Amino acid sequence: MSSAVPPRRPDDVLEVRAGDERGLAEPEMLTPRLRRRRAWTLVLLTLVAPGSAQIAAGNRRVGRFALRTAVLVVALLLLAALLSLVSPGLLLGVVAAPWFLGALVGALVLGAVFWAWLFFDAMRLARLSGVGGRTRCLVAIVTVLLMVLTSGALLSAAWVVWAGRTAVTNVFDAHDRHAPVEGRYNILLIGSDGGSDRVGVRTDTLMLASVDAATGRSALFGFARDTENIDFREGSIMHRLMPEGWNCGDQCLLNGIYQWGMEHADRFPKDVKNPGAQATKEAVEALSGLDIQYYAMVDLVGFRRFVDAVGGLDLVVGKRTPMGGGTSKISGWIEPGEQHLDGYHALWYARSREGASNYDRMARQKCVMTAMLHQLDPQTVVLKAQDIAAVSGSVVETDIPSRDLGRLGALAMKARDGEMTTVNFTPPLIDPWRYDPQKVRDIVAKTIAGDPDPTGAEASTADGTAKKPAPSRASGAKTRGTDGNATPQPSKGAKAKYSFSVSDSSGLICAVP
CA dihedral 505, 508, 511, 513 (to 10 degrees): 140
Strand partners, 481: 422
pLDDT single digits (tens) 367-418: 887 787 777 665 566 566 667 766 665 677 888 887 787 778 777 777 766 6
Residue 256 DSSP code:
G
Burial profile 91-121: b = 16 or more Cβ within 10 angstroms, e = fewer? bbbebbbbeebeebbeebbebbebbbebbeb
Read off the pLDDT of residues 243-276 as tens digits, 9 standing for 90 and up: 999 988 888 899 889 999 999 999 999 989 899 9
Is the model's pLDDT at 295 over the cut of 80?
A: yes
Backbone angles phi, psi at 181, to 5 degrees: -110, 120
Residue 76: Cβ-neighbour burial (10 angstroms; 0-12, 13-18, 19+): exposed
Degrees to nearest 5, angle at CA 445 with 440 and 451: 110
- What phi and psi values does residue 217 have, to the nearest 5 degrees? -60, 130
Q: Which residues pair with 185 in a beta bridge?
A: 211
Residue 16 has, within 13 A of its CA and on its CB side, a CA count of 20
Give the pLDDT score at 32.
79
| Integer Cα distance of 377 and 395 in angstroms | 18
Please say if the pLDDT value at position 489 is more than 50: no
- Model-wide pTM > 0.75: no
CA-to-CA dists, residue 25 to 20, 57, 125, angstroms:
10, 4, 8
Q: Which of the given ranges, 351-360, 407-416, 446-455, has the highest pLDDT on average?
A: 446-455
Question: Helices in 289-404 by DSSP H: which ranges?
Answer: 300-309, 343-351, 358-375, 378-383, 385-395
